[in-house]
Structure 1
Amino acid sequence: MDTALLAVLVENSNNGDHAQNGWKPHVYNACIKHVKDTCNVDITKENITGRIKTFDKQYEIITKMLAQSGFGWDWVKNMVSVDSHEVWSQYVEANKDTRAYRNKVVLNWESINTIYSKDHATGAGARTGVECVQEPQDNPLLEKLLRCL
């Protein structure tokens, strides 16, 4: 269910429908429909809001850890990796709420990071990583620039 929910949130985030004070109302309806169609699960706006709070908390905790020396992201195991037990112990001592993240699997980290990243571009010119590597299609400005090279 989280994967289906996050797919809609990423799409709408890329469309500029995610403001600092929350999501535009139509996003909740799109999430409800997509989760129902994809997972055959009925959810409400309250369910979505609860999951969003969880994603936000995960983003804040994991991002702070990844900013520290000795921490990284293991894309195979979908969890935070730590250079040593000593690094982990020192960090947890200063940040008690992170203890559960030592072996916590976060399957949708890429989507969560895309949505909550502070430097994530929004608006008319925003593109996802996939869009950046796709062939240009009907983009006269880009075609003109490429001819000049």
Structure 2
Amino acid sequence: MSICTKMESQSVEQARGRGKNKRVWHANEDIALVSALIEVCNTGWKADNGTFKTSYTSVIEKIMESKFAGCGLKATAYIESRLKTLKKQYNAISDMLKTSGFEWNDNLKCAVCEKDDIWNDWLKSHPDAKGLRNKSFPHYEELTHVFGKDRANGEGSQAPEDTIEAMDNRDENNEDVNM
């Protein structure tokens, strides 16, 4: 029996129903998954607009199967779910690090917050961050290349009045040229 098959048989509950058919991902599987995700990004499965092309998880499934033969890591059942979790955690940590009171500890590979009141206030408006305080997230830097450009960050945005003013200035400049 392969190591992965043994780990999977120990980590998947047989109970059925919502939230009962869970799989525990091990560190070596997460490393391979993030590596496969980066490989998929680098080989053209990520569109210019930041979204992935259809069936990219099937490609990841094949990569994972080549690394862990016989694991049974199916795209729909396990990989999509794990990617969703990693993206949610990445986004929560990314948002934390843009806020005063949070910083990245490169030795521990985690977002840290020294003050309980800042952390508690953060959790009120960011429930996805629950459990991430001082929790190691070793793939943050790699996932920045994958998920970092998927979110609007406000750069380059303008208020409506600024847009109107820019259009008026452009029209005035064109009138000067036409005269």
In structure 2, what is the equivalent of residue 11 of structure 1? 39
In structure 2, what is the equivalent of residue 85 of structure 1? 116
Q: Distance in 2 between matches of 1:55 and 1:43?
A: 16
Higher relative contact order (CA 8 A, sep 6+): 1
**Which region of structure 1 is more displaced relative to structure 2, 35-44 or 106-115?**
35-44
Q: 5 Å matches for 1:96-135?
A: 96-118=127-149
Identity of aligned residues (%): 26
Over 3 Å counting, the alpha-carbon distance change for 1:16 and 1:39 in structure 2 is same
| 1:2 Cα deviation from its structure 2 partner | 1.4
Is 1:43 paired with 2:73?
Answer: yes
Is 1:34 paired with 2:52?
Answer: no
Q: Distance in 2 between matches of 1:118 and 1:34?
A: 24
Over 3 Å counting, the alpha-carbon distance change for 1:72 and 1:117 in structure 2 is same
Q: SS at 1:68's partner residue?
A: coil
8 A contact 1:35–1:42 mirrored in 2: no
Structure with greater Cα Rg: 2
Q: Distance in 2 between matches of 1:51 and 1:97?
A: 15
| 1:39 Cα deviation from its structure 2 partner | 3.0
Which residue of the other structure, out of 10, 22, 25, is the alignment partner of 2:52? Answer: 22
Count of residues in correspondence between the two structures? 119
Q: Distance in 2 between matches of 1:93 and 1:24?
A: 35
TM-score normalised by the chain length of structure 2: 0.57
Q: Distance in 2 between matches of 1:45 and 1:86?
A: 40
Runs of 4+ in 1 over 6 A off after TM superposition: none
In structure 2, what is the equivalent of residue 72 of structure 1? 103
In structure 2, what is the equivalent of residue 139 of structure 1? none
The answer for unaligned runs of 5 or more in structure 1 is: 120-149
Over 3 Å counting, the alpha-carbon distance change for 1:93 and 1:28 in structure 2 is closer
Q: Distance in 2 between matches of 1:28 and 1:92?
A: 31
Over 3 Å counting, the alpha-carbon distance change for 1:81 and 1:21 in structure 2 is same
How large is the Cα RMSD of the aligned pairs? 2.4
Q: Distance in 2 between matches of 1:90 and 1:29?
A: 40
TM-score normalised by the chain length of structure 1: 0.67
Q: SS at 1:76's partner residue?
A: coil
| 1:29 Cα deviation from its structure 2 partner | 4.0
